[in-house]
Structure 1
Amino acid sequence: MISTKYSTKNMCQIFGITRETLRHYERLGLLNPRFNPDNGYREYSYWDVCSLIDILKYRSLGYSLSDTKDAIFELTYPQIKESLEDHIEIYSNKLIQYDLLLKKATRDLTYFRHAQDHLGEIIEAETEELFYVPYTTNPKNPDFMHMQKAFDNLQFFTTALVINGDNHDLDCYVLITEKQYADFLKLHDGVIIPKFKAVCQMIDIVGRNPADETIVEDFRKKISRKYSRTFDTIYAILVTRFYDEEKRYHQYFFVFSKL
């Protein structure tokens, strides 16, 4: 049987990689092409082709080159099976993650539409169960680690303020999300805001004014007059920041308090 040999050019064309990539894999011991004694050129065999397919497969799964080498040359059948089981778990978690992100994007879009159509209106609504972790600049603070984890998952979190509430000696600047997202991220050390009926308003801060308790003063006055009572804790969640056609800077905050 005639054994097919592939040149460096053939390998680059077939797999869409560069000569330097092939040389790098060779230096790492991942590929071992034969040198033709007649012309000194490399010749890649069926084994090299299969190895390169494995290299690209393991790299696509997120393996490092070192782990890829182990997978090709060292792993036993039970170990490969265990690795595949691990990836099934990883992909299952990814499916859950993207499903949650789809839900979050859909919910965020409702806030954007509300801001477009009902900016400044006072309404009543049921809140979701929320979860927040405070900002802290002290690495020794137990909340610092949780804040960092929230920063690592900002696709789920946004900035918020908790104003005049029981902050448990925390700063009022927080990273907030729905509790279901925090549960998925296994973030349990934070403050939970149970569901409640709320009075809400989407407000627009024009310019680069700092977001502090002054942004909700007008909201507090309006709802106090409307409901003939005082309101303690006010939450202000950042929805978006943007420039308009006149290059003015806007900050949309969704502010609410418990009825």
Structure 2
Amino acid sequence: MNTNEVANITGISVRTLHHYDKIGLLSPCRNPDNGYREYKDEDIDRLQQILFFKECGFSLANIIRLLSDPSFDREKAFSLQKKYLLYEKDRIEAMLETLDKTMKAMKGELIMTNKEKFGGFDMSNNPYEEEARSLWGDEAVDRSKAYVESMSKEEQEGIAEGMDRLFKELAKIRGEKPDSGIAQNAMEKMYQHFNRNFGYQYSLEAFAGVGELYISDSRFTENIDKYGTGLSEFLAEAMKIYAQSKK
């Protein structure tokens, strides 16, 4: 299928498809005769997965990270996305029911309690968002952040100084291969440091997920690379290798 055909069956604009190709999210092969994009069945399946993730609120940067991970489980992703969307379906249906009742109440056809007026307006997070974050990496960062913020100023300064020393030491070995003994010994120390200091027991998957955030989130990348250019990329790869080697 060419780009126009894909745009027609999905409702996605040609411009958006070109953007997905440019950022490496969905890059079909090219026709050698004319250079046009040609979408195979596996490209269409990947696009479907991308759109499900978007409907569940994931950013394009996170979708790229997830789909490029060798450990990505497509069936597990579909299962979680289904639970997420079913929750949203029930919430929206409750809001529609509230809207119908409100319109009838305006006409004097019924009387609503104050509680009924807010049926479906759930200001808390979708419960499956937490499961998704736990599965794919963000939860460890958020829980650690909350733990540190609960500390006194002196305790927070101690944590910050410890992390500063850690990244300074890691910056010294960023020229090593991520799978080298030196790098992996450093990852062991880093893993233990995280589990001792942040009030959260990092699983190997969460540890690797934090490493991915170092390169997928520009805020992490900028802060970490202040210790040495390329440190974030080195750590992301070394942390991933460490997590895989310990399974």
Query: TM over 0.5: same fold?
Result: no
Query: Which of the five TM-score ranges fits, normalised by the shorter chain?
Result: 0.3 to 0.5
Structure with the higher helix share, 1 or 2: 2
